[in-house]
Homo-oligomer: A and B are copies of this chain.
Amino acid sequence: MIVVMKRGASQQQIDHMVERITTLGLKPTVLVGTERTVIAAIGREKSGVAAALESGAGVAEVMPILAPYKMASREIKPETTVVTAGSLSVGGEKIGVIAGPCSVESEEQIMQSAKAVKAAGATALRGGAFKPRTSPYSFQGLKETGLKMLAAARAETGLAVVTEVLATEDVPLVAEYADVLQIGARNMQNYRLLEAVGKSGKATILKRGPSATMEEMLLAAEYILDAGSQDVILCERGIRTFETHTRFTLPLASVPYLRQKTHLPIIVDPSHGTGHTYLVPDMACASVAVGADGLILEVHPDPENAMSDGYQSLTFDEFAETMRRCAAVATAVGRRI
């Protein structure tokens, strides 16, 4: 890392930092500039060390050089990881499409949805049985009953089941029914849950927290990888900014950025990322064009009467049309759906 001393830092302060750096097992090189002195510390930086040095007397700033994630880094593993779970495959030439309602509401609703999204080309079924809701007074999901309905829909259609898990204690139950466990945006830094999911042996979709940096997201993935899983799919689902015409701001540049930094595959969620049905199809096309390895989309037989997220759900017809448009874009960028 690079320790930048304040202008006018004393020799004693510089010596002190040199000593501190040496103690940390790093090799210090003092560079005396025309305006201020800089100390380069070469070697393997331990996490958090740069921040600690900042409280040294005479220190202006400490700049880390190495990315703090290791197992998620493309520098460690140059080829993209392909995550496969049942009918879903993400990371290869073919784009994975996960579609279905926000919440599982009834056997009929989920079965109908599974059939419709499969017919239109989806490769996995999504549906929430455990729902994290902003208000304690909102519908919290059908829980195990919902998981059973998802499993029934899989039995009928062959679609892999993707569903969210909210708490460590639910991991075994959800893992029993699901093909892919989803970590929601609110839980991206729920480290105990990340560890539990990483140990479950199931493939995982890790959604970006609405104020998480790329580095924080990759470190969250690192928790899962470190717990033993190889199968982590990153999901860009939008960040919180000053914009109000969309529920979140969906920054698609994170897709090519992540592709450079990590070997993990990346999907995009234009439903949460925009929060309005009428913006979803165009942003789905843009996600494919930018190089996403997959899409996750909310689809509902009757959005106006959905128990959650109706305002951002596509109807079956809208989904089929979106798929047709995305397929054309996929071809244009050398992929397929």
Q: Is the CB of A253 within 8 A of B255?
A: no
In the complex, how many angstroms separate the beta carbon of A199 from the nearest chain B beta carbon? 13
Query: How many copies, total?
Result: 4
A105 neighbours in B (Cβ, 8 Å):
none
Q: How far is the CA of A133 from the CA of B288 in the complex (A)?
A: 34
A140 to chain B, nearest CB (A): 8
B-contacting 9-mer, from A79-87, A147-155, A305-313: A305-313
Do the beta carbons of B282 and A256 come within 8 Å of each other? Answer: yes
B282–A291 contact, CB under 8 A? yes
Q: A48-B138, A136-B219, A239-B241 are in contact. Are A55 and B303 (CB under 8 A)?
A: yes
How long is the Cα–Cα vector from A250 to B243 in the complex, in angstroms?
Answer: 12
Q: Are A277 and B189 in contact (CB under 8 A)?
A: no
Chain B residues closer than 8 Å to A246, beta-carbon distance = 251, 253, 257
Check if A331 is an interface residue, CB within 8 A of chain B. yes
Asked if A168 is an interface residue, CB under 8 A from chain B, the answer is: yes
Q: How far is the CA of A65 from the CA of B46 in the complex (A)?
A: 23
Query: CA–CA, A278 to B259, complex, Å?
Result: 11
User: Nearest Cβ in chain B — how far from A285, in angstroms?
Assistant: 4
On whether A166 and B191 interact (CB within 8 A), knowing A44-B34, A289-B288, A328-B332, the answer reads: yes
Known: A51-B310, A167-B193. 6 other contacts (CB 8 A): A166-B191, A211-B239, A241-B242, A246-B253, A250-B251, A253-B273
Can you list the 3 inter-chain pairs with the closest CB atoms, starting with the nearest? A211-B211, A289-B289, A332-B332
